[in-house]
Structure 1
Amino acid sequence: MTSAEQPAVPSPAPRKRPGRRPGSTDTRRTVLEAARAEFAARGYEKASMRAIGRTAGVDAALLHHYFGSKDRLFLAALEFPVDPRTVVEQVLAGDRATVGERVAGFVLTLWEQPGVLDRLLALIRAAATTEQVAELMRGFVLEELVRRAAAELDIDQPELRTELMLSQIIGLAMARYVIGVEPLASATREELVPLLAPTFQGYLGGA
């Protein structure tokens, strides 16, 4: 899966409007800088599109028009390579008895895509060393991934189970791609999927 497309903000209409900055590239950069500042200052859950628009000097409606929603603006601002909505839809669709295999296959396939692994590892490293980034990621992951997935799972303690699965995935990324522990680092997708699938299946309450 590739990262969600983030359309560039075009130049505003020829007529002048107070507070609207001209130039598509400048406008997009200003909006993303304002978004990063607001998310950092208020956290993901408390930051609002209205406040971001006010900081950027543009109408909040412009943000909704080009980015769609706060979570998609967050993805663009942090250059997050994965759309959690798509992740939840893809891995939870189909037979729940094989969801663990789908999660394992999805994760390993995702990491093999150009640019995705580097960006994800950069975010993991930043969250591990910078509390501000960690707080942002906690709010975003909880709101847009954990709670979305938990709402679709008819199991006991769905949020805790989902977070346990995420901890397994992050640990796998660190051991396989950051530390490079062998033979894990050199193992193929075909070798790893059947070994990981039962663990993920257990977290999600399947057979």
Structure 2
Amino acid sequence: MARRSGRRPGNPDTREAILAAARDAFAEKGFDGASIRAIAGAAGVDPALVHHYFGTKDQLFLAAMNSPIDPGAILPGLLTGGRDGFGERLVRTFLTVWDSPAGGTAVALVRSGVSSDWGARLLREFLVTQILRRALAGLDLDPAEAPLRGSLVASQMAGMAIMRYIIKLEPLASAPAEVVVATLGPTIQRYVTGDLTDAVRLLGATGTGPATDRATGPTD
């Protein structure tokens, strides 16, 4: 009999205990603040076992979120070509995932994020640390503007997801993917490359400037 490749599944109870501890840690402390050692301690296992089952902290986070995608696998394609055309590439990639069999998991992820504070914290951590931070770094944007640009992009993408896949508002819900790409892509592109000088200045004047946002923080 051929041996199956990949990481062994392990004890289901142990794996679920680790995942439960990870969800609590990521929701309470954020992705950057949570540590494998602390998660292992909360689950009552050795840190080496966490690495054995899940690999890196990024992989553990994706498993805890039940993410339908690995952002690290799709980001290179999004960043090909740099800033030019990024808006359309992002929307098209997003729709490809949501319209695939994995789309049901994506819908559940967003439903959880809008139904409770705990779910919202986890979804926010996912968007900031796994997608926005990496994408913005790859686009080499002005650090003073990157967090605001990222939050504007996220607001459009999340709003589209809710209206198209959860509320199912017509005609958006049944519009062909390329129609959504053609209409939403330019808006995303404007948020990425448009002039935000005045907006950044106003935010700085209120003491809530985006330069302090975690969207451009460390990735470790």
Contact 1:39/1:47 (8 A) holds in 2: yes
| Mapped partners of 2:8, 2:38: distance in 1 | 20
How far the C-alpha of 1:94 sits from its partner, in A, is 2.7
Paired letter, 1:141: L
Any stretches of 5+ residues in structure 2 without a counterpart? 1-5, 195-220
How far the C-alpha of 1:160 sits from its partner, in A, is 1.5
TM-score norm. by structure 1 comes to 0.79
Task: Show CA shifts across 1:10-52 (max 9, x none).
Answer: 3xxxxxxxxxxxxx33332232233233334434332210011
Contact 2:149/2:191 (8 A) holds in 1: yes
Contact 1:127/1:137 (8 A) holds in 2: yes
**Alignment-derived partner of residue 70 in structure 1:** 57
How far the C-alpha of 1:109 sits from its partner, in A, is 0.9
Contact 2:110/2:123 (8 A) holds in 1: no
Match of 1:86 among 73, 83, 86: 73
| Mapped partners of 1:194, 1:61: distance in 2 | 47
| Mapped partners of 2:146, 2:28: distance in 1 | 30
| Mapped partners of 1:203, 1:87: distance in 2 | 20
**Alignment-derived partner of residue 59 in structure 1:** 46
Paired letter, 1:168: Q
Pair 1:7–1:163, CA change in 2 (3 A): farther
Say which SS state the counterpart of residue 193 (structure 2) adopts: coil
Aligned pair count reads 187
How far the C-alpha of 1:130 sits from its partner, in A, is 0.7
Q: For the aligned residues, what is the CA RMSD?
A: 2.2
Runs of 4+ displaced beyond 6 Å: none
**Alignment-derived partner of residue 88 in structure 2:** 101
| Mapped partners of 2:71, 2:147: distance in 1 | 15
Match of 1:190 among 155, 178, 181: 178
TM-score norm. by structure 2 comes to 0.75
Paired letter, 2:106: L
How far the C-alpha of 1:95 sits from its partner, in A, is 4.6
Say which SS state the counterpart of residue 150 (structure 2) adopts: helix
| Mapped partners of 1:35, 1:187: distance in 2 | 38
| Mapped partners of 2:19, 2:28: distance in 1 | 14
Contact 1:9/1:27 (8 A) holds in 2: no
The alignment-based identity, stated in percent, is 45
**Alignment-derived partner of residue 207 in structure 2:** none
Contact 1:45/1:139 (8 A) holds in 2: no
Say which SS state the counterpart of residue 85 (structure 2) adopts: helix
Match of 1:167 among 155, 176, 187: 155
The yes-or-no answer on 1:29 pairing with 2:21 is no
| Mapped partners of 2:141, 2:39: distance in 1 | 37
Paired letter, 1:30: A
